């Protein structure tokens, strides 16, 4: 496994502990986390956003790549995970954890990085694209690799994946995160 033998950032370990305590099973795995950290690091003065904080595992990975001049805003609709995640990042004034619907993020746009992981991705994909800065990077995960074009999931064409991969304002690519899962990286063009 790619992540074997590599240490996890301290806040990722802390967030994973919270996940265990709350029985939260939807956190990003390290393979995706390392991608998030790399993308966050590419925008050292950027606005980094995440929809769907969960308990803060993905947030902690984004944070591990966060530049001194960058800020990170994340939103979670469920109160307890949001509260626990906010506690984790309370010491760092670059980080804001919001409790509520993903649309609360809009007041912080445009985004240089947007990890859209809970809210937006399926219910308003055009709005997701609109919230990106020119040159901003959108990250979407939890896809199942497909050898065909158009990609299929469960026997059906995966229209959502096609939407992002072919959107005229995006340059997008699908990358394997594990042998059985993939993520989309899409950069907004002018
Ligand atoms: C896949 S989990 C997030 C995992 C987290 N991003 C990570 O990387 O560890 C999706 C989260 O999105 C939250 N969510 C779903 N719909 C939402 C919405 N409309 N607004 C805000 N959060 C939402 C869920 O409550 C859930 O905690």
Q: How many domains does the chain have?
A: 1
Residues lining ligand 1, CB < 6 A? 26-28, 50-54, 57-58, 75-78, 81, 101-102, 117-119
Q: Whose CA is nearest to atom 8 of ligand 1?
A: 58
Pocket test for ligand 1, best of 18, 28, 52 (most atoms within 8 A of CB): 52
User: Would residue 51 count as lying in a domain?
Assistant: yes
User: Would residue 104 count as lying in a domain?
Assistant: yes
Q: Give 98-122 pLDDT, tens digit per residue.
A: 999 999 999 999 999 999 999 999 9
Cβ contact 58:117 at 8 Å: yes
Pocket test for ligand 1, best of 56, 118, 127, 128 (most atoms within 8 A of CB): 118
CATH code, domain with 170: 3.40.50.150
**Domain encompassing residue 116:** 10-188
User: Would residue 155 count as lying in a domain?
Assistant: yes
Q: Where are the alpha helices (DSSP H) in 116-158?
A: 125-130
* DSSP states along 79-95: HHHHHHHHHHTTT-TTE
Q: What is the pTM of this model?
A: 0.97
User: Would residue 80 count as lying in a domain?
Assistant: yes
The low-confidence residues of the chain, meaning pLDDT below 70, are 1-5
User: Would residue 4 count as lying in a domain?
Assistant: no
Q: Would you state the pLDDT for residue 5?
A: 54
Q: Would you state the pLDDT for residue 1?
A: 47
Instruction: Report the alpha-carbon distance of residue 121 to residue 141 in Å, rounded.
Output: 10
């Amino acid at each position: 496994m790619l992540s074997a033998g590599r240490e996890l950032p301290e806040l990722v370990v802390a967030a994973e502990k919270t996940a265990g305590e709350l029985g939260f099973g939807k956190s990003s795995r390290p393979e995706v986390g390392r991608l998030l950290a790399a993308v966050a690091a590419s925008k050292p003065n950027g606005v980094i956003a995440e929809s769907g904080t969960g308990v803060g595992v993905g947030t902690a990975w984004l944070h591990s790549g966060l530049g001194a001049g960058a800020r990170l805003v994340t939103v979670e609709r469920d109160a307890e995970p949001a509260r626990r995640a906010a506690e984790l990042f309370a010491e760092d004034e670059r980080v804001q954890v919001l409790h509520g619907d993903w649309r609360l993020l809009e007041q912080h746009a445009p985004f240089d990085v947007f990890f859209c992981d809970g809210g937006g991705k399926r219910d308003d994909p055009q709005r997701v694209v609109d919230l990106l800065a020119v040159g901003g990077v959108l990250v979407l995960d939890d896809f199942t690799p497909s050898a065909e074009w158009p990609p299929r999931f469960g026997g059906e064409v995966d229209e959502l994946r096609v939407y992002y991969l072919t959107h005229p304002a995006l340059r997008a690519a699908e990358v394997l995160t594990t042998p059985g899962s993939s993520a989309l990286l899409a950069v907004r063009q002018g």
